[in-house]
Structure 1
Amino acid sequence: MFKNLIKPLLALVLMLPALALAADPGTVAEQAGNPSDVLWQAIQQGEVGRTTSSVDHHGQLINTVDERLLPARSDYLAPALALALFGMIGVFILFILVNGPSKLHDGFSGKMVYRWSKADVAIHWLGAIPCLLLILTGLVLLAGRLIIEPLMGPEALASLGAIAKPVHDYMAIPFLLGWLLMSVKWAKNQIPAKYDIAWFMVVGGYINFGPFKGKHPDAGFANAGEKVWFWCFVLFGAVIAVSGVILLFPEYVNPSRSLSLLALIAHGAAAIIITAFSVVHIFMATVLSEGGMECMVSGYCDENWAIQHHNVWYDEIKADGTLKYKE
């Protein structure tokens, strides 16, 4: 009887070390070398495999060089975009509280001077409305985790993101069209002139205190500030346009992973500049400049507004007989 038990007991004793190792798979992996750890280390070191793809880095499972760009988007671009929008709004609110708006010294004349055609007004709003929507939706997509999720939670951010993404994509097309038409049609009135330097020296005459008070620098059809805004819009709008096409239509552009990530970074960086200048432009045209908004509503401006803010242009149209009043 005992002889019959010896063999099973001996087999059990011999199996105990194996059972202990099976209970701790980490020990086996440490002794034999965990294949997944070895594979992951090889991937991180740039191990190349085989694939049917022909794009850049097609043989690498993970492109560690491109991955370095992603923290720049979340760590730098996201807070910078939020600062460009809310920071500039805060600065202008403070400025209005201290300085007040720029009033027409001679008041409204009641006579409206032709300044923009109906086509120009339409082009302006074709670019302006999508631009505002792109800024707001871009803020959700780029900086939502930074400013929305802490306040409203991840569910609210997910819901806003689901709305923001298609709106951002669809608004890109009218923005591109508006940007192109503005760039081509308005460039002739945005050429720098000598008197633009004097305009900057007195901050455009918008300061209501100190040595700048009451100053009315010369300005043509566009003043120096508007010219800076225009050329920034043209330049950085081009960056947004090109990078946006790459991101929006990858099936036609067929970009590499490196180009896609560079487009993503360039898109966000240019958007920060456009956002900051857009806030300045909106405040200057509405709150800060009395009578300024009327130009892009009806295409006409008050005669005293034209004389005070764009005297060189007013004198030119008066001299050559193209001055036209609203009937």
Structure 2
Amino acid sequence: MRANLSVLRAMLALMLALLGSFTLTAAWGAVPNGRAEPAYAEEQTMLQIEGDSRAREPGLMSSESGRVHMDRHFLGQYGESEGNVIVQRGGNTWRTLRNGPIASIAGTILIGVPLLIFLFYKAIGPAREEPQSGRKLQRFSRWDRQVHWATAISFILLAITGLIITFGKKILLPWMGHDFFSWVAWISKYVHNFVGPLFILCSIVMFITFLRRNFYNRKDLEWVKQGGGLVSHKHVPAGYFNAGEKSWFWFGVTLLGLVMSITGLVLNFVNFGQTRYVLQVANYLHIIGATFYIAAAMGHIYIGTWGTPGAYEAMRHGTVDENWAKAHHSLWYEDVKAGVPGTPPGPAAGTPPGAPGAPRTPPSPRPGPAH
């Protein structure tokens, strides 16, 4: 146990070191405000006008902000469109933040998380594998699995194309060359834009499908206290979903899904009156939300595959071995065994009579007295 704690301390120190390195890379990636150079000659002229002016520029919420063609960060519209905005000075700020500290944070997290997962796997190892009993329980229905995989595949497509859009110019362009990378970027852009609405639809259907099974209860508190047995490899009693899976549902699928869906729609459909500033803020939130969503998904994928032997079978084929269910979701197993009404999927097709969860056959009526 002490060895495990030492490993966890080392992993925490590594994460702090990665975050520390970010502060340096962020400062290198972005242009410090004190030395920032205007992006265009027109902006230099605007800055000179502002510097010579006795009246300061109106603030963020002022309808007078920017004098129409010198928009800085005004949230409203200038008429029906921004077609008469010649230079939006906030664009240079957006580019500096997006390509500087925000990209640096995202890159650090997306490199650091899989590294930590690998170290955890090597130091702590996966959950204990249970011997096979040969008796199967139905865990997920065909509909459950179709919804899950439709959402997962669309998520992976969005993650890959989003990473290409965000980092491709720095990572892929140098060795692909301009011609080939232009096609990769073009395809990624359109795949991202068209798959996005499909992912939103899949996320809504997934939320409705799995909502009833993801409400927290008091028994989840004990699972949290014991850290799900991830380090001790102890099987903590859990219902159909444990507290970790429920947290993924609420904070990942639901909360981050909302952030990604709303900001994605704002960015994807730009003909509903959004100003440039609104689009820039949406882009900030979209990149930040995607970073945490992808990082959390890495943990979800690890736990559902190498981290928990037998878990992938449940979502791949819909069934789990009886011993697996008894070890990892003992409270659900007991409900299935007892035939508690409303318990999600029970015995798999072909389960012999008398096995846990098999439909109970009512006793034959005893013959009564002849009349």
What TM-score range do you get, normalising by the shorter chain?
Answer: 0.7 to 0.9
Task: Give the alignment's Cα RMSD to 1 decimal.
Answer: 2.9
Paired residue for 1:148? Answer: 172
Q: Larger relative contact order (C-alpha < 8 A, sep ≥ 6)?
A: 1
Paired residue for 1:70? Answer: 95
Paired residue for 1:326? Answer: 349
Percent identity for Structure 1 against Structure 2: 29
TM-score by length of 2: 0.69
**C-alpha contact 1:199 1:219 (8 A) present in aligned 2:** yes
Deviation at 1:317, TM superposition (A): 2.0
**C-alpha contact 2:43 2:89 (8 A) present in aligned 1:** no
Paired letter, 1:104 = E
Give the 3-state SS of the residue equivalent to 2:304 in structure 1. helix
Are residue 265 (structure 1) and residue 288 (structure 2) matched?
A: no
Between the two proteins, the alignment pairs up a number of residues equal to: 286
| Structure 1 residues 248 and 130, CA gap change in structure 2 (3 angstroms) | same
Match of 1:124 among 121, 134, 148: 148
Paired letter, 1:325 = A
Describe how 1:11-90 pairs up with structure 2 within 5 A.
38=45, 41-42=48-49, 46-48=66-68, 54=79, 60-65=85-90, 67-90=92-115
Which stretches in structure 1 are left out of the alignment for 5+ residues? Answer: 1-33
Paired residue for 2:235? Answer: 216
**C-alpha contact 2:242 2:329 (8 A) present in aligned 1:** yes
Deviation at 1:154, TM superposition (A): 5.0
Paired residue for 2:3? Answer: none
**Matches of 2:174 and 2:155 in 1, distance apart?**
26
**C-alpha contact 1:85 1:279 (8 A) present in aligned 2:** no
**C-alpha contact 2:81 2:273 (8 A) present in aligned 1:** no
**Matches of 1:201 and 1:36 in 2, distance apart?**
56
Name whichever structure is richer in helix by fraction: 1
| Structure 1 residues 314 and 158, CA gap change in structure 2 (3 angstroms) | same
> Larger C-alpha radius of gyration, 1 or 2?
1
**Matches of 1:155 and 1:67 in 2, distance apart?**
27
Which stretches in structure 2 are left out of the alignment for 5+ residues? Answer: 1-40, 52-56, 58-65, 71-76, 351-371
Match of 2:248 among 219, 223, 229: 229
**C-alpha contact 1:79 1:146 (8 A) present in aligned 2:** no
**Matches of 1:315 and 1:247 in 2, distance apart?**
48
What are the Cα deviations for residues 156-194 of structure 1, in whole angstroms up to 9, with x where unaligned?
A: 543421221111112212211111111122122111122
Are residue 288 (structure 1) and residue 307 (structure 2) matched?
A: yes
Paired letter, 2:115 = G
| Structure 1 residues 175 and 84, CA gap change in structure 2 (3 angstroms) | farther
Paired residue for 2:8? Answer: none
**Matches of 1:39 and 1:64 in 2, distance apart?**
9
Paired residue for 1:27? Answer: none
**Matches of 2:112 and 2:93 in 1, distance apart?**
28
| Structure 1 residues 218 and 150, CA gap change in structure 2 (3 angstroms) | farther
Paired letter, 2:121 = I
